[in-house]
A and B are shown apart, each in its own frame.
Chain A
Amino acid sequence: MLNKRLLTALLFILVSAFLVAPAMADDLMGDFTVSHYFGGFGGEYIEEIVDEFIAANAGLSHAESPVDHEQFKTSILVQLAGGNPPDTFSYWAGARIQFVVDGGRLQPIDDVWEANDMGSQFPQAVIDNAVTYDMHRYALPLTLHWVGMFYNTALFEEVGAMVPTTWDELVDAAEKFKMAGIPAFALGSMNRWPGQFWFDMILLRTAGNDYRNDLMSGKASYADEEVVRAFGMWKELVDAGYFYPDANAYDWDEAANQVANGEAAMTLMGTWIGGHYAGLGLEPGADFDYFSFPTIDEDVPRASLGPIDTFVVSADAANADAAKAFIVHLTDPDIQAKFALGAGNLAPSLRVDTGIYNDVVARIAAEIAADPVFAFNYDLATPPPVAEVGLNSFSEFMANPGDYAAMLERVQADAAAEFAGMEG
């Protein structure tokens, strides 16, 4: 009797396995390609995440291709143009995704978005700004970064500088460091983009987000008094000698190291600097801390700034089913948490417990929640051809701050030409 029952149970298991296994394999089969720009910070976590996904889908074989952050900006578009893109790839939310959507090279993920109730998993502001393009969902947010001033706590104590909350206090602190023979600000603008944060923050704190949006979309001019004022304030700091010399000679991580080594006091950078400092063995809150870019005009609403990394699905994806399944996989709060912690950033998912963050990141999360606006940084807020013009101008400004008025006239002419060219 027992044997008969056991035999029946075994038979049932065997038949089930026979029926179910091919069904699972049929679900997701074939090659699955993932490309991303996460290098040292986050690269290993993405590898783990992809490996877990492949392990859970035995029918898939995958090729993962990390590409250098700067080269990725070009290489992915070459792949898209060539019609042989990866099935899914990381991409920066904002104007860059819009640019590729306009070119018809991404496919919407509305189906998996609705089927998995993703709308309830992310803040509405993130869905509106980072996920939705032309009324469709295209991107799955994986990390949210925030730009602020990261400083060497020991140096602040040493010179008796207070954490500034206003522009005047920032200048006072910078002056104290100058008196102590320490450059207040490290900036590594060799690859141009770190310079944009200074322009972004001063403009957001003086002209506000609405004006900035107009500038980013070509409705306002770089010769406007708002932009001239922002560059003028930036110039005050450069002329006063508060910046570490030769900003264009260093990359962002070298500037971060200058702060870590005590060669400079602070650097305006994204939260990924936390991942870099973790690699150097620095303790957040003890060895380094942060403050939000100071208020300049009291009546201008506060705004947070930063990029959001997402994953998108290529229009020509050879294995779109696997790509979309991977997108769903990335919504897992454990995965979002793992990646955020690894890279020193924040997880966009509302399902991630904020208790996982260290003190510094937890306070940053509260700042973002308190600010009424989350703006994308310059090169993600304005179309790429215009961003090229602006990014060059930030480097030029750091080398020749005296000529900025004439430079802005030139930038306006070039930006207007690029906007006109895009309208065709």
Chain B
Amino acid sequence: MLRRHPWVLPASFLLLPLLVYFAFVILPTLNSLYYSFTDWVGYGDDFNFVGLANFEKIFTDRLFGNAIKNTAIWLALAMTAPTGFGLVLALALQGKRRINTIYKSLFYLPICLSPIIIGIIWVWLYSPKLGIVNIFLRAIGQDHLATAWLANPNTALYAVFVAWAWQQTGLNMVIFLAGLTSVPTPLVEAAKVDGANYWQTLRQVVIPMLRPATVVVFALTAINALKSFEVIWVMTMGGPFNKSDTLAVFMYSESFRKFKMGYGSSAAVVLFLMTMVIIALYFRQTSKAEELYD
């Protein structure tokens, strides 16, 4: 049997994980897609098929537009700040000095914390009167900059982003550190021998060699940015008055606060499609990078 059908054995090993994947990923995704064509409120058995009505409505919904705008801002910031800081930290902390290990652990620490904990920590840091952010600003004579960061409609989204980026930066640093270990030392030495200074070596040798790691960082950051929810929910619940709503928060609010599960599911489908585009781009870039280095 196994000789005639060699695929049976590996397939049997794959069966259980595939079943789990189907039950916990594929099925809920299909379920969301199904409900996005209905007016289901989230409980009860009564609902109607409304065709594409939810999708027609969502693209004229002021709050959806607001969530798209905030998600775009979030994504743009995510692709620059935690990515850039992650690279800078990795470059600064590469090497095996003892102090580097301590710093690496410190910057990696936020990854070990739950987003809920991260949110709670930063809510305290941003507290208008007792938070360390405003205390620091007042201590250096910048009282005019002290504000209610999470209640101010102009700062809420960015204040929450900083908390999220604090965690994401550590992850990016680790990926870049792993990437740096694969940069051949002779190549860097050769550049130095040829008279390249630090910046020239970095720009001409190290960063191009980091391309596979960079693709992973960009892809992971983009996916994490699109699905970021917990930190926002803990810190502002999308407020004040939707000013820090992202697509994920919009989806949750419509589904579970307004009890429009069908409509919320249509937002989930849009978010899913956006994430799929990012994943497709990621795989395309990954395969290009693999071709380059094969």
Contact = CB atoms under 8 A, between A and B. Distances in A.
A268 interface: no
A26 B153 CA distance: 59
Contacts of B148: 245-246, 248-249
A247 B127 CA distance: 12
Given A74-B257, A400-B153, A248 B128 contact: no
Interface in A367-401: 384-385, 388, 392-393, 395-396, 399-400
A100 B44 CA distance: 9
Interface residues of A, number: 35
A7 interface: no
Most buried by A among B44, B152, B242: B44
Contact of A248 (B39, B62, B151, B259): B151
A105 interface: yes
Contact of B256 (A78, A100, A414, A421): A78
A384 B128 contact: no
A73 B253 CA distance: 12
A77 interface: yes
B43 A190 contact: no
B259 A384 contact: yes
A388 B153 CA distance: 18
B42 A81 contact: yes
Main secondary structure of the interface of B (DSSP, over half): loop
B239 A392 contact: yes
Q: How large is the interface on B (under 10, 10 to 19, 20 to 34, 35 or more residues)?
A: 20 to 34
A80 interface: yes
A80 B259 CA distance: 12
A384 B239 contact: no
A399 B153 contact: yes
Contact of A388 (B46, B48, B253): B253
B150 interface: yes
A105 B43 CA distance: 8
Interface string B248-284: 0000010011111100000000000000000000000
Interface string B218-234: 00000000000000000
Interface in A99-145: 99-100, 102-105
Given A104-B46, A399-B153, 14 more contacts: A77-B42, A103-B43, A103-B44, A105-B43, A191-B237, A245-B148, A246-B147, A249-B127, A388-B257, A388-B258, A395-B240, A396-B240, A410-B62, A421-B39
Interface of B: 39, 41-46, 48, 62, 127-128, 147-148, 150-153, 237, 239-242, 253, 256-261
18 contacts: A77-B256, A78-B42, A81-B261, A100-B43, A103-B43, A105-B43, A190-B239, A246-B147, A246-B148, A246-B152, A248-B151, A248-B240, A249-B127, A384-B257, A384-B258, A385-B259, A395-B240, A396-B240
